[in-house]
Amino acid sequence: MLFNILAPAVGLATLVAGHGAVTSYQIGGTAYPGYEGFSPATSLKTIQFQWPDFNPTMVVTDAKMRCNGGVSADLSATIKAGENVTAIWKQWTHAQGPVMVWMFKCSGAFASCKGDEKGWFKIDQMGMWGTQLNSENWGTAIVLKNLKWSSVIPKNLAPGNYLIRHELLALHQANTPQFYPECAQLVVTGSGSATPPADFLYSIPGYAPQSDPGIMVDIYGSKATTYTCPGGPVWSGFQSS
């Protein structure tokens, strides 16, 4: 009897410990602490939207898809277009699935910037290399190994206030996608003037249907030898609207 009562609690603890979230950033040589508690909570002011837990979002239309349930942060980091943003995960456990990094241009102050328009564009992504979905040749396997991911802010990007969103999509469970997105606030500087054309812009949540073959996939049973990330290609910064 005792075991029957204990078993689910142990299972839950393992599950919570097993996933992950972005917990800090390295930007232009400066370390920015991120959110590390479980909101709502009082914690240090950070550049990152507070998020509720390490658990995945399972459905692309869930409101948590945008920034893991977080809302505007108190601080922002300044970065010159062309420099790198490095996201750091305190823990991450899955080796199959893509890494996708998105940005969203705020129309004004961060306090009113919710990312709730069709304005999200990708600046970086890595799906799978090689030909076997059931391998560890995936972007998220690199995060598992290094616990960090570096992306270049497109060098021509127009200056302004932006949200940056790091998304890990774990595909280790057949036809049971797990999304892990977190957001932070960046003031981009520089002399660029480019903004992504409309066909690079997406709404989040809902950037792809749940049935997208990059989302609803059985990596063990699939005969596919290539993988296409959901949500379209990366905007290089050279095409402009």
Ligand X SMILES: *[C@@H]1O[C@H](CO)[C@@H](O)[C@H](O)[C@H]1NC(C)=O
Residues in contact with ligand X by CB under 6 A are 84, 124, 150-152
* Residue nearer to ligand X on the CB measure, 123 or 133: 123
Residue 174 C-beta: closest distance to ligand X, Å: 30
* Residue nearer to ligand X on the CB measure, 152 or 224: 152
* Residue nearer to ligand X on the CB measure, 27 or 183: 27
Residue 110 C-beta: closest distance to ligand X, Å: 24
Residue 24 C-beta: closest distance to ligand X, Å: 15
Residue 151 C-beta: closest distance to ligand X, Å: 5
- What span, in angstroms and rounded, lies between the C-alpha atoms of 130 and 52? 35
* Cα atoms in the 13 Å half-sphere on the side-chain side of 231: 31
183 SS3 class = strand
| Helix locations, 94-231, DSSP H | 139-146
Identity of residue 175: N
* Cα atoms in the 13 Å half-sphere on the side-chain side of 159: 6
CA distances from 215 to 82, 149, 164, 165, 208 (A): 30, 21, 21, 18, 9
- Residue 126 has phi, psi (to 5 degrees) of -145, 120
Residue appearing with tokens 């905007």: 235
At 31, list the tokens: 């370390």
Residue 39 C-beta: closest distance to ligand X, Å: 29
* Residue nearer to ligand X on the CB measure, 125 or 185: 125
* Residue nearer to ligand X on the CB measure, 79 or 219: 79
